[in-house]
Amino acid sequence: MEKQPGLPTHTVQAEPQTWFNRFHAAVFSCALFAFFYHRLLSLLQAPTLLSFTSFLLLTLADLVFSLVWVLSQAFRWTPVRRRAFPENLRTKLPDAELPSLDVFICTADPLREPPIDVANTALSAMAFDYPADKVSVYVSDDGGSKLTLLAFMEAARFAKKWIPFCKEHKIRERNPQAYFTSASNGGYMVEGWREMKDMYEEMKERVESAVERGDVNEDLVIHEQDLTAFQKWTPGFCRKNHPTVIEVLLAADKDVDAMGHALPNLVYLSREKSMTSHHNFKAGALNTLLRVSSVMSNAPILLNLDCDMYSNDPAAPYRALCFLLDPVLSTNLAFVQFPQIFPGINKNDIYSNEYKRLFQINPLGMDGSGGPNYLGTGCFFRRRAFAGKPSLKPYPEIILEGSSTNNGVRETIWSLTTLEAAHRVAGCKYEQGTEWGSSIGFRYGSLVEDFYTGYVLHCEGWRSVFYSPAEPSFVADFPMALNDLLCQCKRWAVGLLEVSFSCFRCPLTFGLRHSASLIAAMSYAHYSFWPLWCIPLTIYALLPQFTLLLGLPIFPKATDPWIFLYAYLFLASYGQDMLDYIMEGGTFARWWNDQRMWMIKGVSSFLFGLVEFLLQHMGIFRSGFDITSKVADDQTAKRYRQGVFEFGVTSQMFFTISAAAVISLVALVVGVVRAMLQGGGDEMAVQEEKPEVATKDPRLAFGGTFPAYVLVLPTAKPAVRPRCRRHYSYKHKHFPKCRGTERGEGFLQLTGDGTDNDKALGRARRKWPSGLSQCSLQSHQQCGLLSLLQATTLRSFTSFLLLTLADLVFSLMWVLSQAFRWTPVRRQAFPENLRTKLPEAELPALDVFICTADPVREPPIDVAYTALSTMAFDYPTDKISVYVSDDGGSKLTLLAFMEAARFAKKWVPFCREHKIRERNPQAYFTSASNGGYMIEGWREMKDMYEEMKERVESAVERGDVNEDQVIHEEDLMAFQKWTPGFSRRNHPTVIEVLLAAGKDVDAMGHAMPNLVYLSREKSIASHHHFKAGALNTLLRVSSVMSNAPILLNLDCDMYSNDPAAPYRALCFLLDPDLSTTLAFVQFPQIYHGINKNDIYSNEYKRPFQINPLGMDGSGGPNYIGTGCFFRRRAFAGKPALKPHSEIILQGSSTNNGGREPIWSQRTLEAAHRVAGCNYEQGTEWGSSIGFRYGSLVEDFHTGYMLHCEGWRSAFYNPPEPSFLADFPMTLNDVLCQCKRWTVGLLEVSFSCFRCPLAFALRHSASLIAAMSYAHYSFWPLWCIPLTIYALLPQFTLLLGLPIFPKATDPWIFLYVYLFLASYGQDMLEYIMEGSTLARWWNEQRMWMIKGVSSFLFGFLEFLLQQMGIFRSGFNITSKVADDRTAKRYRQGVIDFGVASQMFFTISAAAVISLVALVVGSVRVLLQGGGDEMAVQLFISGFVVLNSWPVYEAMVLRNDSGRIPKRITLFAGFVGYAFFFMAELARGN
């Protein structure tokens, strides 16, 4: 097209306020220089460290304000406004010569982005006043939803009537929803209006009814041929894992409208998704559209629209072409950006959804210096711009050979060849090894792909224009809830920071090096540094209020001439901002709300975005693309129209906003009252203004909040710690069960000589430490109270108050721990006596429950070993049933058990014949002490074992089960249940009877135990209650199949080490004196392979071996999740009530008795029914029967509830462990496991009517039992005293403030006694139970570490969960370690090799204590005062001594298990900040 001056297609004109803007910038700059001169004087003349710090922070805030103001002048330097004349273009260019247009629309979630709204957007673009055969509309559905496809099938049919209707009647609003709901268009006067409205309502009703049901039924699909499209949604199809779906719904060369005219192309695309590939969010979807459209239509002009932004102007393409076809611009013009306009915004725009500066004012300024940035929607692109720099040859993938019109001479878009090529380029692995996202297409690397893509295009030498027509060409929806708006802004903040701080991408440097002008670089820098507003806003939100409360003036007096400079800066910046806003068509009320939202975002979206970005770069957090919901219910929409803010969700961002309001109100009230009563109003005038007004640029007043990130630091067991938890276990005589028998002939016996001396010794051991410690505690409390009452300053009062709180928690825990020492007993069992009294035929049947959930963290071969060890019990095999619950739904686990079932036919008789003790094959064949190689058949068994292990592990390595690995053809049928839609979170029930006692025999012809594989039904819509839900499913399925009265629950990594274990348990369970109320017999958890000194305290000697002895004397130990023999009756309700029929089924107590065999069709159907995910709905499962729900520690909660119902238990610790378990070999795994326990225990402690101290006393449990459970449930509260003792002694040591008695004060002996008594008794009990001093030392070190990591983070997670911000999950503890990790563990070296959040507090603790010890020691040496600071120095030194492995991992080690450098740097920074704060407080 040749340029004709008489008929211009567009004009450009500079804004008249340009010179005023430049003059104002010059004056304001001079004022800024004067301002910083005054600020520097204030800084240098600060009389105290506190005032110096205040001025320093103010200077930092003002520097950021000034930087952003300087960058913002780029928008005011050369603003221009453009006009377009599409009528002139139409006279110059016939329709045949117009370029083709491809329209891209992206959607991703049918709930947040309703399909009917997306279809309306597409219809508005299809109805452009543009040759229909030159328009192609592509819809990318990243949600892979049938609902969206249905909506577009309906839209395709509706378009055949709608498009000619719009063109015939020259309708402007071509979005059907907008047209039919508008009161101003006079549509009802148009012929055919009622018919069109009815058609639209029918279409809308069909789509919305499908959305409401959540699926597409056949009755909703009008044409039968459309059903084939929905068949691509196979059972395995999900939004994150599915093949490519491409449907050509309309084709220009074969589909016509109701008038016989060609229709636009309409193509539905859902690109291939895979869990193993990154899909790059919206940018990835747009690049897929770019490639697919290149294959199909290859239009040279592209229009990108958000799914909720529809066309409001049928002539919009012509307006864009006025610029894109101008030969003066076209050589390097990449895109034409239209503004985002939002109809329906309420009168005063309370949320500033208009974004007038961002979308309307600033682009005018950028247009004068290279062009505006790409806003993500409403943008016409030249396809060539995505193919590389304008000066280079384009990439052939984007600019394909052929005509620029629809497909030209190439094949039709619906041809098989075209569709195959389109599927190929839409594959999830197509981009691997290419330059997509880096040099071509939309760019990856930021959550704001629009900003980043536009920025890189400008840097490559392209330019753009901004065109804002008098009537908006495109209009969009907006969020109506404050939380949705803030979350959207937070995502933008993270994305902008990714651009700002990415390598070689900072706009100020990269832009200048790559063709961008200084003004353009400043514009992009202003946007990319947008989140940094949080720094000055946070400072101004906290500092003026804090200093106002302190009475410290930090601004000039009201009578000081300098105040006029401050007033000018405030009024000039606010005034110009308001003037720009109003001149662009805004109102004063909307401007006021805009600056209020700027403040709100500064302390919420910007702040949380900055924190999230930092955590992301530390490797702790990974940002995702959260879709902004613009759907609101009627009540929310009504409140929005009324101008009322919506705070109706528990959002983390509302905490800072609410705190801002409270802090500012407190500061204002206190400051005003002081000024009125004491004077000084001229000094504090500016600070008193802060809570009332907001700041912008260097606007110097704001009311907000500063999030208090409290650094909680670990410490040792402090010197004032009244913790006497360990106890002496005395022996108590218990005679045999049968009267008249000689001593030692009963089923069980509690050993001891029963003498009076023994009883007296027991009383003394439990009363002496308790009585003496109680007296000492009372004296200590008196000392603490005196110190508190005699405190002379607020600082000392606060210190003593915190110490008192810590000591109260210590004392509470000590008092509760006395329950374990009150009546400890030790039991002994005589299984040989039981065997002589009870023939095998009368023994009860035994069901064994084993749970697994993850074939990666819990290797299937290890789970199979556990099952094999129980199948080989020295117990009648036809009475044993082993049930394996696979919550991971893995074929690998089923394969492992198929192999185990075959191996068991040789292994079980081999073990029984040779009386082998270790019946776990792995443990047996790797043991050097069992002498197995001397046994006949040993080599043959080992070869069979190795073959089984190799087959299973090779399948695990490949990640799937191949047909060649399945030995028997009938086993293949089982694996056919894993259909394409089968996933671990969504699948039907799978039950496989692998061995049946009634038909399978071993190599010797003896019956085999039952072996049943179960993977219960899972659905994303149902809660499965983690391990407790799996155990309840096993309970029901076993009731249907074998219904044994005795149950054994084992963790998948805890195998039997004693073939006689069932007999040992039955010594208690069959004792008539106990059996009426005995629910379970708990064996201790013993771990094999723990290194010499147990560096992680994996032994858990106190909770698993020492404390249960004490609980056994007062009702019984708690259930610890594994190694526990239950009576099935205990799960059916209270012992005094009739049992629940679902658990105690009629029939024999032996395996299935006279009922049908477990492999019968009827039994399997019943088992499938009770394993369904909806079976428990409306029942008492998990509340009154079965394992209990409501806590992540289902074992503790279940045992606790059973005791409250009147059941009791017994603890039996045999000389040789009956069960052995694996353990985690890395510190992070240990701490994460303990954190999960912490959250679960707090769920029990603070659940309604469940607190052990109150609930247990009301429900049959004794006081001692209640105290025992309370001690465990309050376990996480250790974080309170440990945190205080981790921070306070060190801080006061740096302050020089003594908070403990002097070394020469007689009170010091009380403190010394409490420390030595608690630590001494703790150590003594530990060693008396068979441990070592080194292991005890590591146990107390881990107690401190957990106190400020696991306990602390678990406590915080529980609080966030209760606030509705966070939802805890059941994280499986990995006990699999690589060779290097295992080697380090055997060497006793702690593994810190991951960037865990818990290591931050541990490292910070070590650094803080070291700093405090060094500084405190130096001061004592130089200035004296060692007697006053002795205890604080001791506590700091004790922490330093315990922290040696941390220092070693931070500085001395170079292996992969060292502490990551960023954590080391963070700890160093925290240590310095801690010292600086102490010095700051010390100076004042």
Q: Which residues are catalytic?
A: 887, 1195
CA pair distance 1153, 1044, nearest whole angstrom: 10
Nearest-Å Rg of the Cα atoms of the chain is 38
CA pair distance 1219, 653, nearest whole angstrom: 49
Contacts of residue 733, Cβ cutoff 8 Å, sequence gap at least 6: 750, 752, 753, 754
Burial class (CB in 10 A: 0-12, 13-18, 19+), 1080: buried
Contacts of residue 931, Cβ cutoff 8 Å, sequence gap at least 6: none
Whether 252 contacts 407, CB under 8 Å: no
CA pair distance 1424, 1417, nearest whole angstrom: 9
- Residue 377 identity (one-letter amino acid): T
Whether 566 contacts 730, CB under 8 Å: no
CA pair distance 565, 38, nearest whole angstrom: 10
Q: Extract the tokens encoding 799.
A: 């210190």
Whether 627 contacts 479, CB under 8 Å: no
Nearest to 1039 by CA among 1142, 914, 1123, 1116: 1142
CA pair distance 881, 1166, nearest whole angstrom: 17
Q: Give the orientation angle of helix 588-602 with respect to helix 605-617, to 10 degrees.
A: 30
Contacts of residue 528, Cβ cutoff 8 Å, sequence gap at least 6: 451, 455, 496, 497, 499, 500, 506, 507
10 Å Cβ neighbour count for 515?
18
Whether 889 contacts 1015, CB under 8 Å: yes
The single residue listed with the structure tokens 């509302």 is: 654
Coil, helix or strand for 268? Answer: strand
Terminal Cα distance for the chain, rounded: 77
CA pair distance 121, 310, nearest whole angstrom: 4
Q: How many residues make up the chain in this entry?
A: 1484
The vertex-1225 CA angle with 1222 and 1227, nearest 5°, equals: 130
10 Å Cβ neighbour count for 213?
11
CA pair distance 276, 279, nearest whole angstrom: 10
Whether 697 contacts 63, CB under 8 Å: no
CA pair distance 723, 725, nearest whole angstrom: 6
CA pair distance 1034, 1018, nearest whole angstrom: 14
Q: Which helix (H) or strand (E) holds 974?
A: helix 972-975
Nearest to 874 by CA among 1009, 767, 996: 1009
Q: Extract the tokens encoding 1140.
A: 């629940």
CA dihedral 752, 753, 754, 757 (to 10 degrees): -110
CA pair distance 259, 161, nearest whole angstrom: 8
Burial class (CB in 10 A: 0-12, 13-18, 19+), 422: buried
Nearest to 1405 by CA among 1291, 1258, 1247: 1291
Nearest to 1374 by CA among 1192, 1241, 1227, 1240: 1227
DSSP string, 280-309: -HHHHHHHHHHHHHHHHT--SEEEEEETTE
